[in-house]
Amino acid sequence: MPLMNTKAMFDKAYNGGYAIGAFNVNNMEIVQGITEAAGELKAPVILQVSKGARAYANHTYLVKLVEAAVKENPDIPIALHLDHGDTFELCKDCIDGGFTSVMIDASSKPYEENVELTSKVVEYAHKYDVTVEAELGTLAGIEDEVQVEHGAEAYTKPEEVEDFVKKTGCDSLAIAIGTSHGAYKFTPEQCTRNAEGILVPPPLKFEVLEACMKNIPGFPIVLHGSSSVPQEFVKMVNQYGGKMPDAVGIPEEQLRKAATLAVCKINIDSDIRLAMTGNIRKYFAEHPDHFDPRQYLKPARQAVKDMVAHKIKNVLGCNGHAEETVKVWNEKYKK
């Protein structure tokens, strides 16, 4: 089936107690690994592209890679989403260029400016049946061009969400409840340490999520910065020449809890990067005479597939929901 927007995905996810994985893509191997896992597990999936990914790989190449994935996985609902669009012009370019969903991130602006810019994107996007994600609150950390110093983040104010959604007409809302971008989501001062000396992050603010749910019942909520930074891959990176001290992420059990509530989309990027990089470093160390990119990118692609499969089954809970999502899309949203 062709690319779809996120309406049918979120309809089923909200009522089904699961979330859709939104995985960032930058090259062929990542696209293949993600969609092969989703295909085998019959899971709907969102492939998302950041401003930095477009600069790295070129808009046209990325769209064609996703189109190839759609052709290879005809039974899987796939949305192509712009992650952290920061201008109307960028969102418009992606809408005009074949994306089925966009995010306009004006969360760093004053409230009324956020409303104004988000509304402008929504008005344009909805003409083309493209869904729009907006954001209230700011996350700490670094993701491509998105950089917020620790201490400068701000939790979403639940009292603002109803007004914001009504005024903008956005289709989903990213909120800040304590997640953070990148592989260094928390400073050591924000954490405790377990018996092995590994940082233990502070818990997510579920009271903020629950208050938002109360104020916008039935409305899809999004979590950014939701990689768990698996320590096995941090250790692998460090063992084979890397240097990632105190890298720590969001505990998976907290993300699973969020997925059973109103969170319909969970963004995952750093975990894929870690799995790929750890396996490539390991391959180089074990095969210093090899120089064919296919040799080290093959296990890297498998690492992406294994990571995504784990997330789909054990964190998101969206495995087995492809067919019902397609049915809702055909009956309710397809134009």
Active site residues: 83
Tokens of 284: 């180089």
Q: Is 144 left (phi over 0), alpha (psi -120 to 50) or beta?
A: left
Helix (H) or strand (E) holding 123: helix 111-126
List phi, psi (to 5°) of 253: -65, -30
Contact 43, 13 (CB under 8 A): no
- What is the rounded CA–CA span in Å between residue 118 and residue 108? 12
Burial of 40-50, coded b for 16+ CB within 10 Å and e otherwise, reads ebbbbbbbbbb
* Greatest extent of the chain over all pairs of C-alpha atoms, in Å: 61
- What is the rounded CA–CA span in Å between residue 214 and residue 232? 38
CA dihedral 117, 100, 51, 267 (to 10 degrees): 100
Burial of 228-256, coded b for 16+ CB within 10 Å and e otherwise, reads bbbeebbebbeebebebeebbbbebebbb
- Alpha-carbon distances of 134 from 35, 63, 91, 101, rounded to whole Å: 25, 22, 12, 11
- What is the rounded CA–CA span in Å between residue 64 and residue 67? 5
Which residue in 240, 237, 206, 232 sits closest to 221, CA to CA?
Answer: 206
Tokens of 219: 């409305």
- What is the rounded CA–CA span in Å between residue 334 and residue 278? 41
Contact 35, 68 (CB under 8 A): no
